[in-house]
A and B are shown apart, each in its own frame.
Chain A
Amino acid sequence: MKYQVQENCLTVFLPNELDHHNAEEIRKESDHLIEHNHIRYVIFDFKETNFMDSSGIGVIMGRYKRIYLLGGEMCAVHANERMRKILTMSGVTKIMQIYEEEE
């Protein structure tokens, strides 16, 4: 999994398929990075992602609980139509903005 830390912002480059199998790894690694780098903003980059199930939603919701307590924010970038549908259906768009392009 690829991550990038810039000051207090963590970008998580999500894999091609985000299911229960790799959700565990992302959960552990991103929590470690959030804790050790004073992270307040998390960007989920869906550029490579073509599949996601409710395990992916669980990862997003779990990270939000942490970031919210730290007074931070999260957003999603490069989500294709399918990913947008899943994100919207699950309701996580209420806690996380989806942006067309990374600014």
Chain B
Amino acid sequence: MEHTNEMQLIFDSRSSNESFARVTVAAFMTSLNPTVEEVSDVKTAVSEAVTNAIIHGYENEVHSICIRCRTEGKTLYLEVEDTGRGIEDVKQAMEPLFTTKPELDRSGMGFSFMEAFMDRLEVLSAPGKGTTVRMEKTIGKGRRLWTTQSL
């Protein structure tokens, strides 16, 4: 297809890479002409997914995190994958305020933020195998089409 583009990013699960990951995805999506707010939404969602992989997936051990991005038309498809410990109960993990690490001051809002800022969120996980978070966001949704107004 003409308007598709893809990229893959593999990096160490170090907390210093959280900003690297979200800035890279933000740079990749600029071809979709997003608003500042749309970029912020995606950056927040990437940050949440990567932080989850580091803290929960790998429990602060250093392994690889893979981000796969694709743009198709006006939509950004985003996948954040770790091969860490996985989630026993995905439904429970996605409940607002649920966290397995309250002692680390985790708010339990990671998935809620991803859900709020993206159009679609899917979490695939198997204990002992890892977790893949799939997200989608269509750029320019609900933006007013001023070009069609008559002068």
Q: Which residues of A contact B (CB under 8 A)?
A: 17, 19-21, 23-24, 27, 51, 53-55, 57-59, 61-62, 82, 86, 89-90
B51 A53 Cβ-Cβ under 8 A = yes
How far apart are the CA atoms of A91 and B51 in the complex, in Å?
A: 21
Apart from A20-B55, A54-B51: 10 A-B pairs, beta carbons within 8 A = A19-B15, A19-B18, A51-B47, A53-B51, A53-B113, A54-B48, A54-B107, A55-B106, A58-B105, A82-B37
Number of A-B contacts (CB under 8 A): 60
Q: 24 A-B pairs, CB-CB below 8 angstroms?
A: A17-B19, A19-B19, A20-B47, A20-B51, A20-B54, A20-B55, A21-B16, A27-B105, A51-B43, A51-B47, A53-B44, A53-B48, A54-B107, A54-B108, A54-B112, A54-B113, A55-B51, A57-B107, A57-B109, A58-B105, A82-B37, A82-B40, A89-B116, A90-B107
> Secondary structure of the B side of the interface?
helix
The residue that B106 contacts in the complex, of A21, A58, A89, with Cβ under 8 A, is A58
- Nearest CB to that of A17 among chain B residues? B19
A61 / chain B contacts, CB cutoff of 8 Å: 105, 107
Which 7 A-B residue pairings sit nearest by Cβ, starting from the closest? A62-B105, A21-B15, A58-B107, A54-B109, A58-B105, A57-B107, A53-B47
| B84 at interface, CB cutoff 8 A | no
B116 / chain A contacts, CB cutoff of 8 Å: 89
Q: Distance (Å) between the CB of A58 and the closest chain B CB?
A: 4
| B110 at interface, CB cutoff 8 A | yes
B22 / chain A contacts, CB cutoff of 8 Å: 51
How far apart are the CA atoms of A59 and B104 in the complex, in Å?
A: 9
How far apart are the CA atoms of A23 and B47 in the complex, in Å?
A: 13
How far apart are the CA atoms of A51 and B43 in the complex, in Å?
A: 9
B16 / chain A contacts, CB cutoff of 8 Å: 21
A51 / chain B contacts, CB cutoff of 8 Å: 22, 40, 43-44, 47
B107 A20 Cβ-Cβ under 8 A = no
How far apart are the CA atoms of A59 and B43 in the complex, in Å?
A: 19
A21 B19 Cβ-Cβ under 8 A = yes
How far apart are the CA atoms of A32 and B47 in the complex, in Å?
A: 27
How far apart are the CA atoms of A55 and B113 in the complex, in Å?
A: 11
Q: Distance (Å) between the CB of B106 and the closest chain A CB?
A: 5
Q: Distance (Å) between the CB of B20 and the closest chain A CB?
A: 10
